[in-house]
Structure 1
Amino acid sequence: MAIAIRNIKEIDLLRKSNSIVAQSLQKVKEYAKVGVSLNDLDKIADDFILSFGAKPSFKGLYGFPKSICLSVNDVIIHGIPSDYKLKKGDILGVDIGVEYGGWYGDGAITFGIDEINKVDEKIIKCSYDTLLNAINSIRVGMRFKELSFILQSNIESFGFVPLKGFCGHGIGKKPHEEPEIPNFIESSVMQGPKIKNGMVFCIEPMVCQTNGNPKILNDKWSVVSEDRLNGSHYEHTIAIVDNKAIILTEY
C-alpha cells in the first residue's frame, strides 16, 4: 500500500486531533499522583476527550478494552488501565489516540511519580531525547530506514536497547497506516520508501534496559521486555511541511 500524501487542508485537520492528544496527555499527567488508580486516569482522559466532541480511538481498537494505554514500570507499551493505585517511585507511560472529524492523532509520554531512581530517570531521558533527535534529523528524500537507524543508534548511545516487534507508523484517516517505522534496523538503510512532503507519521522510541525481545503478559496486551526491567516510551505525530518535520502533538 502506498504512503498517503496529505495536502495542507488535511494536515490542518490532523492538527486538531493531535492537539487534543497533546492536551489529554498533559491532563493525565496533571492527575497522576500517588494513590490515584489507573482506572481513575482512564476516566479522566475519556471525559476530557469527549468534551471536545472527539473520541478515544484506542477504545475497542483491535479489541482494546479501555480508552487509553497506561503502562507502569516494566510494562513498556499497551498497558490496560486497572484498579492499580500509583505509588511513589513508579514510572508511568501514557499513550493516547484520538479521532476527531474522521482524522486520527496519537502520542505518548513517560514520567515518574514523585522521586524515581537514576536508572529510570536515564531511560525516560533516553526515549525523549531519542524522539527529538530523530525528528530533528528528518530530511525530505531520506529513507525511513535511515530514520530507524538514527533511532536505534541514539537508544544504544545511552547504553539501552530498542524494543523489537513494535514500531512507529503512518496515521491519517486510520489510526495505523503505512509505513511501519521500527526503532531498529535489520537490513540496509538504503532500501525502502523515502520521506516526502505531505507525509504524516508517528515516531515512538520504545526503550528497554538490556533485552529488546518482547513478552506479552496474560492480559494479551501489556508488553514487557524479557529482562522484566523498567522501560520507557515517547511518541509524537509528525507532518512533513515545506521540507520540515512539524510536530502535531506539541505539548
Structure 2
Amino acid sequence: MSGGGSDAAEATSLSCVRCGKPAHLQCPKCMELKLPREGAAFCTQDCFKGSWSSHKSVHLKAKLSTPGAPNSDSLNEGWKYCLRKGQGRTSKLPHFDWTGALRPYPISNNHTVPNHIDLPDWALDGIPKIEPNSDLQHVVEIKTPEQIEKMRETCRIAREVLDAAARVVRPGVTTDEIDRVVHEATIAYGGYPSPLNYHFFPKSCCTSVNEIICHGIPDARKLEDGDIVNIDVTVYYKGVHGDLNETYFVGNVDEASRQLVQCTYECLDKAISIVKPGVRFREIGEVINRHAIMSGLSVVKSYCGHGIGELFHCAPNIPHYSRNKAVGVMKAGQTFTIEPMINAGVWRDRMWPDGWTAVTADGKRSAQFEHTLLVMHVISFLCDISIAGVVYFFNNIYFNLNMQVTDTGVEVLTARLPSSPEMFPWLDA
C-alpha cells in the first residue's frame, strides 16, 4: 500500500472502499494500472487486507479491457485461466509460445445440473469408469433396434441444441455465452451435456476459434468480426450419446476462410457418401484427404472419428487422412462419427497449457464438421426388361423389420433439420 507524498494528500478527500471512513492509503496495483482513485482508497492496512479477496478482481477486469487482452465486460470473481486439463486454475495468463494471434481467456465456474437429469459416470468426479475398460474399445458394436431408436432421439436433440447455439453466433458474443446456451438447451430437453467434466473438461461444449483445431474451452473472449468458430455438441440422453459439430462464420469472413470451411463441409459430405456395409473404415480417410489436398489444404492426423452409443468414445477409430491403418469393415447397425479437421497450413498441432486446446502448429486457421452416422442395410433394385414383369434382385438381405432400409447405406442421425438456421451459403445455392 502507498501512504506518502501527494498520493496520500489527494486521498484524504476519499472514503474507504470497505468501511466508508476517510481514506489515506491507495492500492499500489490500482495506481500502477492508473485506475480511478475512488475505487482504490482504504483507511488502514487492515481494511485493505480485508477487502483484498474481492478488490483484486478490479485488477483483472482492468487488464482484460486493455488491447490484446480478454475483452469480456462481465467477468466476475472466480473467472480464471484453465490449467491441467480442467483440474487447475490460475489468475495469470500462462506462458506459452503461442502459434497464432489467439490467446486463452479466463473461464467461468462450471454449470450445475438439476437432480432429475440422468448422469454419465464421470459427471461427479471427472473420471469415466466403464468406457476405458469396455470390450467395445476393441469390438465394434452392432446396435439393437431399441438402441438405434434411442440414438435417433438423442441425436435429434443434439442437433436442436447445436442449432440453438448457432443462432447466437455473432460479433461481440463470448464463447462462454455460447456454452451457456448449449448447457441450458441440453437441460431443457432432459439431457446431460456429455463433455461436462469428462476427464475434467470444464464446460458443456467445445468452442474452437480460428487456429484452434478442436477442444477449445469456452471463455471470456468475445467473437470478433472475421472469426470462424466451431461448436462441438454432444448430448447424453436415455443412456446414449449423440455427437455433432459445425464451423460458423462470424460477421464478414475473408475468402480464404470461406473456402476452408466449405471444403471441410464437402470433405465430410463426400466421406458420408461412401458409407455402407462392406466398405473399409480406412477408405474414409482416402476420400477426405483427396478432396482436401485438391484444395491446397491439409488433414489433421492427431484426432479421429469414433464409435459412439452407450459409450462416448469407443471402436471403431475413424482416421481422416490417407494411408491410415484403420481396421475393419462397416456393418449394418454400427454407429460412429466422421469429423474431419482441415487446416489452411500444415497438419501438425500443438497443445495449449490448459491441456485440452489443440491449435495449428503454424497458427493458420482450421475448420471441422461432424455427424453421427448409422450404417444401414441396403436394397439394390435391378430391372431385367427381357422378361415379363419387373424382377427385383436383393443384395445383402438380412434385416430386422423394425429397422429402416435405405438405398444409400447410411442414415445421418444428426442431419440438419428444416428448422436449422441457414448458416452456409453453398447450401442455399
Q: Does 2:366 align with 1:231?
A: yes
Residue type matched to 2:180 in 1? K
Aligned residues of 1:70 and 1:80 also touching (Cα < 8 A):
yes
The residue number in structure 2 matching 1:159 is 296
The residue number in structure 2 matching 1:201 is 336
Q: Does 2:307 align with 1:170?
A: yes
1:226-245 deviations in whole A, cap 9, x for unaligned? 11101101000000122311
Q: Distance in 2 between matches of 1:169 and 1:187?
A: 14
Q: Which has the larger radius of gyration?
A: 2
Q: Unaligned 5+ residue runs, structure 2?
A: 1-137, 379-408, 417-429
Q: Distance in 1 between matches of 2:298 and 2:353?
A: 24
For residue 249 of structure 1, the aligned residue among 408, 411, 414 is: 414
SS in 2 for 1:194: coil
Structure 1 position 187, deviation (Å) = 4.7
Q: Does 2:242 align with 1:105?
A: yes
Q: Distance in 2 between matches of 1:122 and 1:223?
A: 22
Judging by fraction of residues, say which structure has more strand.
Answer: 1
For residue 134 of structure 1, the aligned residue among 271, 286, 293 is: 271
SS in 2 for 1:23: helix
Q: Distance in 2 between matches of 1:3 and 1:169?
A: 10
For normalisation by structure 2, the TM-score amounts to: 0.57
Higher relative contact order (CA closer than 8 Å, sequence separation 6+): 1
Q: Does 2:221 align with 1:56?
A: no
SS in 2 for 1:31: coil
For residue 40 of structure 1, the aligned residue among 154, 168, 177 is: 177
Q: Distance in 2 between matches of 1:3 and 1:203?
A: 15
Aligned residues of 1:69 and 1:78 also touching (Cα < 8 A):
yes
The residue number in structure 1 matching 2:345 is 210
Residue type matched to 1:250 in 2? A
Q: Distance in 2 between matches of 1:134 and 1:89?
A: 28
Residue type matched to 2:187 in 1? L
RMSD: 1.2
Q: How many matched pairs?
A: 249
For normalisation by structure 1, the TM-score amounts to: 0.96
1:52-84 deviations in whole A, cap 9, x for unaligned? 110000001111100000011111210000000
Residue type matched to 1:37 in 2? T
Q: Distance in 2 between matches of 1:177 and 1:12?
A: 19
Q: Does 2:343 align with 1:221?
A: no
